[in-house]
């Protein structure tokens, strides 16, 4: 789906944000990109829809180089939700915001109305249908931006810090939706600092530092490797920290999911009580 070959990127001010990145994202994969501020995470994902072009190297989406097609062409299959929703909201109402891209892509009006209603219901925005997006809270505007992308059903979805400003209920809805997209063989890529959210989703994790990928693997392995996490300035999930500090109980050291942790602890206590 996405192939990145030895990509470098330097901003006009001379800052080299990407330094020889190579990776492949398969169709239907769920990937979380993590690292400290300035690590190059957002710069990397902006290469995937052509918002930024490599200074050196190649980015292929469906075997097509991103330098050879327009952002508009890539956008039909690559949906991008910015960290700051105000960077992509401009319509007078939430309804019009969600409908804009659908109409721009040539969807029939009957289909557009159905997709708008579906997106509003999915993200709990129905009561704001006629409201200006700029009258909403930051978290609500984030959901409007996400709804405007989900409405046209892109094959690849990129979310930059999707959990910022969202309460637990909204995070859980997002997690369930991502899982649903995986069953539909959609590719989902998130940029995030929310290690607890990543732990609950258990995706493939890329850790970045200084414009390079320093780790790439399953969440259960990557988010319990304290040496690598320290290099990426990331704190392990709270559950992982607990299990790492209970060596005398002979518990596994790669537990990051609260539900798995609960089952392990219950079974351990049950054995000890016998």
Q: Where are the domains of the chain?
A: 1-77+154-225, 87-153, 237-274
Residue 222 buriedness (CB in 10 A; 0-12 / 13-18 / 19+): buried
> Residue 90 corresponds to which tokens in the numbers above?
């401009």
* Predicted pLDDT at 224: 86
Report pLDDT digits (tens) over 35-91.
999 999 999 999 999 999 999 999 999 999 999 999 888 888 999 999 888 888 889
Both tokens of 185, joined, read 């063989």
pTM above 0.75, yes or no: yes
Distance in angstroms (rounded) separating the CA atoms of residues 32 and 199? 10
Q: What is the pLDDT of residue 85?
A: 86
Q: Which residues in the chain come in under a pLDDT of 50? A: none
First-to-last alpha carbon distance for the chain, in angstroms, is 52
**109 Cβ neighbours under 8 A, 6+ residues apart:** 103
Angle at CA of residue 120, ends 116 and 123, nearest 5°: 140
Residue 264 burial by Cβ neighbours in a 10 Å radius (0-12, 13-18, 19+):
middle
Assigned architecture for domain 1-77+154-225: 3-Layer(aba) Sandwich (3.40)
């Amino acid at each position: 789906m996405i192939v990145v070959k030895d990509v470098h990127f330097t901003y006009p001010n001379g800052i080299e944000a990407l330094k020889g990145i190579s990776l492949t994202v398969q169709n239907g994969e769920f990937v979380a990109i993590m690292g400290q501020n300035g690590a190059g995470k957002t710069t990397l994902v902006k290469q995937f829809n052509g918002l930024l072009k490599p200074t050196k190297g190649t980015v292929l989406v469906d075997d097509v180089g991103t330098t050879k097609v327009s952002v508009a062409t890539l956008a039909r299959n690559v949906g991008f939700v910015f960290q700051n929703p105000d960077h992509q909201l401009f319509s007078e109402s939430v309804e019009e915001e969600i409908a804009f891209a659908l109409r721009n892509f040539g969807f029939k009006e009957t289909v557009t109305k159905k997709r708008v209603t579906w997106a509003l219901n999915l993200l709990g925005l129905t009561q704001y249908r006629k409201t200006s997006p700029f009258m909403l809270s930051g978290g609500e505007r984030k959901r409007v931006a996400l709804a405007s992308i989900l409405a046209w059903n892109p094959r690849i979805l990129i979310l930059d810090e999707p959990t910022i400003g969202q309460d637990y209920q909204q995070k859980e809805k997002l997690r369930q939706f991502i899982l649903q997209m995986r069953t539909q063989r959609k590719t989902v890529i998130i940029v995030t600092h929310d290690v607890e959210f990543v732990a609950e989703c258990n995706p493939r994790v890329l850790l970045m530092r200084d414009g390079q990928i320093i780790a790439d693997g399953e969440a259960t392995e990557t988010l319990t490797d304290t040496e690598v996490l320290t290099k990426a300035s990331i704190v392990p999930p709270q559950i992982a920290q607990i299990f790492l500090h209970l060596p005398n109980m002979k518990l596994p050291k790669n537990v990051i999911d609260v539900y798995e942790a609960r089952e392990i602890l219950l079974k351990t206590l049950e054995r000890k009580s016998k």
